[in-house]
């Protein structure tokens, strides 16, 4: 399967624990995004990488959230001291930027569903 | 005000009906536009890009009105399999930033 893959698919954790999610984008995609989605809402932008550089971070992302993409390939999203409000689907997407092209499709992984109890 | 707004629906239509969704965006710097489809508990998938001149893909037609800052999606001859949530997506590019902004989605239910 050469699509975007996310691991784990599901995570149940106790409040206060730290969790880390992994995203493997489509090979050679230089852009990688993290989104959060709750029931009945569209995906909310969290952060964006171009290669290994994190170019933007949403104000939604408190200092408990951190994302990395150390080698410009896979990415991790860590949530420290989880709260019940962090329960959501965390989606990763990737796309390829070539020159000034803007209309590039973003491909999504199947997401990691986090439940904080 | 949300950056991208959609009527949440649900739109409940019979098979064969024509249905249209609108989406408005607030930032005039928005540069590219898409419709994504999301099935229940699945990831979003690209349905179609939206071009300034409007574009059609089979039963689906997308239109863009930059002056009024809205985009639309028309589905003709609805099928049961069209039941899903349709997400309006805007690409906002500012400086080195490039991000896809999603609407909350419009839910479509096609009944037999």
Mean pLDDT of B1-20: 93
Interface check B21 vs A, CB under 8 A: no
Q: Which residue has the higher pLDDT, A36 or B31?
A: A36
| A99-109 pLDDT per residue, tens | 655 557 899 99
pLDDT tens digits, one per residue of A2-35: 799 999 999 999 999 999 999 999 998 999 999 9
Percent above pLDDT 90 for chain A: 72
Asked whether the beta carbons of B47 and B60 are under 8 A apart, the reply is yes
Angstrom distance (rounded) from CA A81 to CA A42: 25
Mean pLDDT of B49-56: 90
Contact A103 B93 (CB under 8 A): no
A108: contact with B, CB 8 A cutoff: yes
Q: Quick one: average pLDDT of B100-109?
A: 94
Q: What is the pLDDT of residue A86?
A: 96
- Band (A85; pLDDT cuts 50, 70, 90): very high
* Closest C-alpha to B103, from B84, B90, B93, B112: B90
| pLDDT for position A6 | 97
Each residue of B58-92: pLDDT tens digit? 999 999 999 999 999 999 999 999 999 999 999 88
Q: Give the separation between CA A95 and CA A29, rounded to whole angstroms.
A: 5
Residues 6+ apart with CB under 8 A from A62: none
Q: Which of A41, A102, A108 sits opposite B93 (nearest CB)?
A: A102
User: Does the bond joining B36 to the residue before it have cis omega, within 30 degrees of 0?
Assistant: no
Catalogue the long-range contacts made by A47-54 (C-beta closer than 8 Å, 24 or more residues apart).
Answer: A47/A77, A48/B97, A48/B98, A48/B99, A49/A75, A50/A97, A50/B96, A50/B98
pLDDT of residue A96: 86
- Average confidence (pLDDT) over B47-59: 92
Please say whether the beta carbons of B111 and B15 come within 8 A: yes
* From A43, A105, A110, residue closest to B46, measured CB to CB: A105
Nearest CA-CA distance, residue A35 and chain B, Å: 10
């Amino acid at each position: 399967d050469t699509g975007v893959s996310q691991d784990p698919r599901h995570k149940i954790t106790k409040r206060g624990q730290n969790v880390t999610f992994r995203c493997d984008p489509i090979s050679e995609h230089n852009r990688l995004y993290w989104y959060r989605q709750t029931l009945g809402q569209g995906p909310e932008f969290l952060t964006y990488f171009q290669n290994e550089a994190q170019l933007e971070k949403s104000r939604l992302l408190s200092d408990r959230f951190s994302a990395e993409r150390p080698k410009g390939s896979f990415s991790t999203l860590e949530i420290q001291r989880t709260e019940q409000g962090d329960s959501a689907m965390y989606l990763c997407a990737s796309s390829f930027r070539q020159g000034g092209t803007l209309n590039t499709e973003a491909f999504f992984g199947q997401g990691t569903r986090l439940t904080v109890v | 005000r949300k950056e991208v707004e959609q009527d949440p629906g649900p739109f409940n239509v019979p098979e064969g009906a024509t249905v249209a969704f609108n989406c408005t965006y607030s930032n005039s710097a928005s540069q590219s536009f898409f419709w994504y489809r999301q099935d229940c508990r699945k990831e979003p998938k690209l349905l179609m890009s939206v071009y300034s001149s409007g574009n059609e893909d089979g039963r689906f037609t997308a239109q863009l009105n930059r002056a009024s800052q809205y985009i639309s999606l028309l589905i003709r001859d609805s099928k049961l399999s069209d039941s899903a949530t349709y997400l309006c997506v805007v690409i906002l590019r500012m400086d080195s930033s490039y991000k896809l902004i999603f609407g909350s989605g419009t839910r479509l239910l096609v009944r037999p």
